Structure 1
Amino acid sequence: MAARTLASCIFCKIIKGEIPSFKLIETDLSYSFLDIGPLSKGHALVIPKDHTVKMHELPDNYLADVLPVAKKIAVALGAENYNILQNNGRIAHQEVDHVHFHVIPKPSATDEEGLVIGWPAQKADMDDLKKFHQEVLSKL
């Protein structure tokens, strides 16, 4: 079965070879390549060949493919410290409307290379958390 692609999607064009890329690993389901706007040396992207905008829209079999590909890339890079990042939607920092997973090496503790994030954790109200837990469980 051929992958669904979107004519205007930059990642679909990369998969089809219409835009050149520094390809790393290609499987039946995934295509990976070096990011041309890297946060650090070795920053790579792993994308499904099937055009899908958000992760929850992907078939489950793809998710079983993407992490082994990301793992192989991290190992090949010799990345002892790295982030696997995946964003869904504009306010969650998704810039390209095609699911993609970043493999971002973090070579040093400085904020000069790799992913730089804040983690604005909040104290949860345990009663609210318990109620919310039950609500989510009822939908799983």
Structure 2
Amino acid sequence: MIQDCLFCGIVAGTVPSVKVAEDDATYAFMDINPASEGHLLVVPKRHSTDLLEISADDLAAVTLAGQRIAKVAVRALGADGVNLLNCCGADAWQTVFHFHLHVIPRYVDKERDRLGMPWVPTPGDREAIAAAGATIAEALG
């Protein structure tokens, strides 16, 4: 547990939350700034700052918990879809620096769904795409 980490405090029970689910490795709770009806977060109980730091075991546990909860949330809330979202780094909209996975039920009814993403898919430069892919593939070995 990190002393000043909001999510560590939620996991420890010293900061209030609306708990949705818990297991040995993860804790899921409702987001207090929801993008849609039923928006919740899944966090590892062990602190890790972000996607680049989290252990493979904790990442797998959070992802599997997120999938399990998403299936139930979509059915129970009558959602039309769901987004699983992780933001890694301040420039990628991360605001709490304890790894977390957003489970965001999505609705056609915009009274239930306020999430707007800034990215609109448009074709990219094929040469730049190939160059970036080659750089990443080479770095992976």
TM band (smaller chain): 0.7 to 0.9
Give the counterpart letter for 2:8 in structure 1: C
Shift of 1:92: 0.9
- Residue in 1 that maps onto 2:28: 32
Distance of 1:21 and 1:106 partners within structure 2? 22
User: Would the aligned equivalents of 1:107 and 1:114 in 2 still touch at CA under 8 Å?
Assistant: no
- Residue in 2 that maps onto 1:87: 87
Shift of 1:56: 1.5
- Residue in 2 that maps onto 1:72: 68
Greater CA deviation, 53-62 or 20-29?
20-29
Identify if the C-alpha distance between structure 1 residues 46 and 128 changes in structure 2 by more than 3 Å, giving closer, same or farther: same
Shift of 1:112: 6.0
Distance of 2:124 and 2:131 partners within structure 1? 12
User: Would the aligned equivalents of 1:48 and 1:99 in 2 still touch at CA under 8 Å?
Assistant: yes
User: Would the aligned equivalents of 2:88 and 2:94 in 1 still touch at CA under 8 Å?
Assistant: yes
Q: Percent identity?
A: 34
TM-score norm. by structure 1 comes to 0.85
For structure 1, the 5+ residue unaligned runs are: none
User: Would the aligned equivalents of 1:30 and 1:48 in 2 still touch at CA under 8 Å?
Assistant: yes
Distance of 1:74 and 1:13 partners within structure 2? 24
Aligned 1:1-140 pairs, distance under 5 A? 5-77=1-73, 78=75, 79-108=79-108, 110=110, 113-121=113-121, 123-140=123-140
Distance of 1:49 and 1:68 partners within structure 2? 14
TM-score norm. by structure 2 comes to 0.85
> Over aligned residues, Cα RMSD in angstroms?
1.9
Alignment: residue pair count: 136
For structure 2, the 5+ residue unaligned runs are: none
Superposed CA deviations along residues 13-53 of structure 1, whole A, max 9, x for unmatched, are: 01111012111221222111111221222111001111111
Greater CA deviation, 100-109 or 12-21?
100-109
